[in-house]
A and B are shown apart, each in its own frame.
Chain A
Amino acid sequence: MSVPMVEAHGVHKSYAGVEVLRGINLTVERGEVTCLIGPSGSGKSTLLRCINHLEKHDAGELRVDGNLVGYEARGGKLYERNDKQICAERSQIGMVFQRFNLFQHLTVLENITIGQVKVRSIASEDATRRARELLARVGLDAKEKNYPSQLSGGQQQRVAIARALAMDPKLMLFDEPTSALDPELVGEVLDVMKDLAKSGMTMIVVTHEMGFAREVADSLYFLDQGVIEESGNPREVLVHPRSERLRVFLSKVL
């Protein structure tokens, strides 16, 4: 069997002396959808940000697609990768943010082409064609000339997903993609994500949408205070939580 897409062994991370991640072990197989749930401050987002090296983890082993994140192992030593290598690694990992973070000064179409043209050096016409395909896929082909501020939250998030997909990522990270949305707009974003899961994309989703986790996820991890408290098949874990903490957490969110 091929190497897993993401492998974490004893990953630690602290900010100013506070340990946010305290030894995370996790495996995400190719084509799988993994959901991370847990109370705020439990380290879910930090873990996600460590995976694409937006944050540097302090200790432990973190591999994406078999390669160490941020380091290269050669002759028994770890060599820190330079900026260029890290950028190249990151460009293959898509990320979707809670607050969309679309480039405000660019149109919807430009938001999706800029990475292709500037990072992947794709010709502008090809990038535009690809961007239009992706916009059609997320159901926003009529909005390409609009600026992000002219779209609803749900529409912005779908554009953000298209922007990430334009980089042809091998892995997609979602950091609470529906938490900033009005309730009636959550569905449209989840639909796009379900579609993406069906197409075989490897996804890690930090979410509070238990329905989505139950329906779409192949595995589920419950984080609390920087450790994985419980994990397994979401349809089992969510219905029959073993730990007391997960039981308490679920009673609050469900």
Chain B
Amino acid sequence: MTTNGDDAVEVVPVRHVGRYVAAAVVLVLVAMLGHTLISKVPTGQTACHVSAGVPTCHQVSNWRFSWNIVFHYFTTSQVLDGLLVTLELTVIAMTIGIVLGMLIAVMRLSHNRLMSSAAWVYTWFFRGTPVYVQLLFWFNIAALYQSVTIGVPFLHITWLHINIVAFFTPFHTAIVGLGLNEAAYMSEIARSGLISVDEGQIEAATSIGMTRSQTLRLVIVPQAMRVILPPTGNEVISMLKTTSLVIAVGGVTDLLQSVTLIYSANYEIMPLLIVASLWYLIVTTVLSIGQYYVERHFAKGALRTPPPTPIQRLRTDLRGIAGKFRSPRHATIKAAS
């Protein structure tokens, strides 16, 4: 092949026919689904009204998804109260899970065999049984123990006395059940983070005279957070939805329970399930955004250049798309001799 010295040669990009076809199929499916969301269906009733002495009748049709009902219940106090209970359960159970999980992870990595075995058994038990069963178990715990007393045996010295029957209200049962179960998963997440930190970091901290607990707090944990956070975000989102299992203990009106109570009275099952789902989606979205920024904070020093925020990325993308429209379809390159 010969080239004419400095002349530019046209470059024709490959056409991806398969991709265009696949994209078209997806677009059609999305359009169909979109149509059902906003379409109306006849209810089988007719409504008539009289205008200027002439009666006119027409079929009554409703949104297929009953958006009017969804909208009506979306912000009723019953639903919002349920949402609040769900959020409370999530926050408290997750806090128990994270704190206890961290402790169990540190125990698991302890040089003391008894400590690490105890931690292993905890994880084994709470990961090995369904959380629903655990919730039922805590609900019925009074059948095994009526009260717990911590003190010196035989000496009538008591530091702590818990009346199990009084303590395990439905709400307490829910947070204990969810929190202890979560701790088992969080401990494995925390452990993976702790062991991901390079041994050299520990040696360096030790060499400047840090104690073991200082090394853990000031050097290992901050670096482990980078590994711990993404799966923890996952766990928070998972917990938000797992709280709906508190139906097992009864008497806790969370988001799902409150819509269940409403639809068992008015039989508008689908619209109310949509109400609950939309709220779960909204909270999950907010949590995901929060997670992104927390992760960014703990990524300090790990990457030479921190990744762009979604807003920065969106701006770059838009600029890129605009650039595509501006520049000619066929790029040209200088031909090499």
**Which A positions have Cβ atoms within 8 angstroms of B?**
52, 54, 83-84, 87-95, 97, 99-107, 114-115, 118-120, 147-150, 160, 163-164, 167
Task: Check B209–A91 contact: CB distance below 8 A.
Answer: yes
Task: Check B208–A115 contact: CB distance below 8 A.
Answer: yes
User: What number of B residues sit within 8 Å (CB to CB) of A?
Assistant: 24
Q: Can you report 10 residue pairs joining A to B where beta carbons are below 8 Å apart?
A: A87-B210, A97-B200, A104-B223, A104-B302, A105-B223, A114-B218, A118-B218, A119-B214, A147-B300, A148-B301
Top 10 nearest A-B pairs (CB, nearest first) are: A91-B209, A147-B301, A101-B204, A101-B200, A115-B208, A95-B207, A119-B209, A90-B209, A105-B301, A87-B209
> Which residues of chain A are near B211, meaning CB under 8 Å?
83-84, 87
Task: Check A101–B302 contact: CB distance below 8 A.
Answer: no
- B187-227 to A contact mask, C-beta < 8 Å, 1/0: 00000000000101101111111111010001100110000
Task: Check A104–B207 contact: CB distance below 8 A.
Answer: no
> Which residues of chain A are near B218, meaning CB under 8 Å?
114, 118
Interface residues of B: mostly helix, strand, loop or mixed? Answer: helix
Interface status of B304 (Cβ within 8 A of chain A): yes
Task: Check B209–A115 contact: CB distance below 8 A.
Answer: yes
**Supplied contacts A87-B209, A105-B222, A118-B210, 13 more A-B pairs, CB within 8 Å:** A87-B211, A91-B208, A93-B207, A99-B200, A101-B201, A104-B201, A105-B301, A115-B210, A119-B209, A148-B301, A149-B301, A149-B303, A160-B204
> Measured between C-beta atoms, what is the minimum distance from A109 to chain B in Å?
12
Residue of B nearest to A89 (CB): B209
> Which residues of chain B are near A93, meaning CB under 8 Å?
207
Residue of B nearest to A150 (CB): B304
> Which residues of chain B are near A94, meaning CB under 8 Å?
207-208
Residue in contact with A90 in the complex, picked from B206, B212, B219, CB distance below 8 Å: B206
> Measured between C-beta atoms, what is the minimum distance from B223 to chain A in Å?
5
Whether A106 touches B301, Cβ cut-off 8 Å, given contacts A97-B203, A99-B200, A118-B218, is yes
**C-alpha spacing A114/B298, complex, angstroms:** 18
> Which residues of chain B are near A107, meaning CB under 8 Å?
301
Among A52, A92, A115, max chain B CB count under 10 A is at A115
Residue of B nearest to A119 (CB): B209
**C-alpha spacing A95/B205, complex, angstroms:** 10
> Which residues of chain B are near A90, meaning CB under 8 Å?
206-209
> Which residues of chain A are near B303, meaning CB under 8 Å?
149
**C-alpha spacing A137/B211, complex, angstroms:** 28
Residue in contact with B214 in the complex, picked from A88, A92, A97, A118, CB distance below 8 Å: A118
Residue in contact with B208 in the complex, picked from A147, A149, A164, CB distance below 8 Å: A164
**C-alpha spacing A160/B223, complex, angstroms:** 18
Task: Check A103–B204 contact: CB distance below 8 A.
Answer: yes
Residue of A nearest to B213 (CB): A83
Whether A54 touches B302, Cβ cut-off 8 Å, given contacts A83-B211, A87-B211, is no
> Which residues of chain A are near B208, meaning CB under 8 Å?
90-91, 94, 114-115, 119, 163-164, 167
> Which residues of chain B are near A54, meaning CB under 8 Å?
203, 206-207
**C-alpha spacing A92/B219, complex, angstroms:** 20
Residue in contact with B203 in the complex, picked from A101, A105, A149, CB distance below 8 Å: A101
Task: Check B201–A52 contact: CB distance below 8 A.
Answer: no
**C-alpha spacing A54/B208, complex, angstroms:** 11
> Measured between C-beta atoms, what is the minimum distance from B277 to chain A in Å?
39
